Amino acid sequence: MQAFFGLEVTGVLDNETVEVMKAPRCGVSDISRYGHFDGKPRWEKRQLTYRITQYTKDLTQSQVDAVIAEAFQLYSDVIPLDFKQINSGTADIIILFKGGYHGDFYPFDGAGGVLAHANSPGQRQGGDTHFDDDERWTLTQSGVNLLLVAAHEFGHALGLDHSRDRGALMYPTYQYVNTNGYRLPEDDTRGVQALYGSRTTVPTTAPKPKPPPGPDPGPEPEESAEDPNPDPLPNPRNEQCSRGLVFDAATSIRGDLFFFKNGYYWRKSRAAIGIRFTKVKTKWSQINYVDAAFEVPSKDVVYLFEGGQYWGIRAYAKTVIPGFPKSLTNLGLPSSVSKVDAAVYVPTTRKTLIFVNNQYWSYNQGRNQMDIGYPRYITQDFPGIGSKVDAAFENYGYLYFSNGPRQSEYYLPYRRVMRVLLNYGWLNCY
């Protein structure tokens, strides 16, 4: 166990080992970096049915149904299997929530210990998945997040064993990560594709429910269908749910997320339902398109870059701060830089990272000057995100770096990629 969790192998039950043993976890025993059960059991059919026979008291039935479907979708996105819920009859996978003894030889141990367990693929009880209803199941960071635990257990139900990779979904101890736009991490994807192969076509999904009646809140008007001054770049509205979607830029503004493409942006609000789609020039009349963007929340200022200049704007205001636009050289960038690829402000360091081609600069917002010793190579300081950054933003303490349609969720204190996502997942696409 000490070797598996990266502890010093002493053979002694020291404090650090005890702390790891006490961590909330899955009830299946441990292995190494992605692995399979003995004999590599797998399902031989292409569509699996599942049935939820007992629900938790913590969430509504519709919430549980939706989360379970989302957890299965993580796998059907990457392997050629589809999953269908049935409400009666015999299903391939039986799912239930119950505390203590619940009909198998592995009774649950109350809140905070084993959270759930699942059987490997096979006949009869193969794939069946049980959740300890003594836990407090939630859809957020509080309590135990059902999506993360369900997706982990369904990995077992498909034939995956535990992984030693701390960034993997199949890591044995529970660790909350932001589930907004969550996609199956790379280690888990490789493991499940080794059993079933990769999906070559986009899986079919149920149609998204219509938003509730009434106007969609938000201060800015939506772009009209007809534009008297058409843009040279295509309108990206139809790309919203494309798996190949590439962002020009991204930033947070007072908690909402803005994703820019071809002179337009999608706005994902914390308070409003749905995604707003607006032309940049409709909101900020002096700006045609956005190459890069970042917010400094403590100053209530957002900076938008277009070509060789940038604007400072008060959050949500339509007027530019006096004195803008300014040249990129005002930031300390060399005159040879004609445009910025991406930029992101890091609140914990009060530094803004500015990306150009395969290098980046660090700008000190407190001193209003570029740090000495830059530029540096992206691959040198941010291993795993690639050699180029098309868009970047900060959200709930994580940095998100987009390189083409793929996105790396990066945790700066650990200097490591936690998950690999796709851009379109932020835009309510499932």
pLDDT tens sequence for the chain (430 residues): 666 555 566 777 777 777 766 666 454 444 445 567 777 889 999 999 999 999 999 999 999 999 999 999 999 999 999 999 999 888 999 999 998 887 776 788 778 778 999 998 988 788 999 999 999 999 998 899 999 999 999 999 999 988 877 788 988 888 888 888 888 998 899 899 999 998 864 444 433 333 333 223 333 333 333 444 555 678 888 888 888 899 999 999 988 899 999 999 999 887 766 789 999 999 898 999 999 999 998 888 999 999 999 999 987 666 789 999 999 999 999 999 999 999 999 988 899 999 999 999 999 988 889 999 999 999 999 988 999 999 999 988 899 999 999 999 998 888 888 888 888 888 877 5
Q: In what order do the strands lie in the sheet with 292-296?
A: 292-296, 301-306, 309-314, 326-327
Pairing of strands 93-97, 129-131: parallel
Active-site annotation, residues: 153
Instruction: Report yes or no: 405 and 423 within 8 Å, Cβ to Cβ.
Output: yes
pLDDT score for 270: 74
Fold of 236-427: Hemopexin (2.110.10)
| pLDDT for the residue numbered 430 | 53
Question: And the tokens for 332?
Answer: 């300390």
CATH homologous superfamily for 15-196? Collagenase (Catalytic Domain) (3.40.390.10)
Secondary structure of residue 264 in the 3-state scheme = strand
Q: Which amino acid belongs to residue 200? A: T
What are the residue boundaries of the structural domains of the chain, listed by start? 15-196, 236-427
Least Cα distance to 392 among 423, 428, 349 occurs for 423
Cβ(178)–Cβ(409) below 8 Å:
yes
Cis upstream peptide for 322 (omega within 30°): no
Crossing angle, helix 186-196 and helix 146-158, to 10 degrees?
A: 30
Helix residue ranges, H only, 243-338: 280-283
* pLDDT value of residue 105: 63
How many CB atoms sit inside 10 A of residue 53's CB?
12
First to last CA, the chain: 37
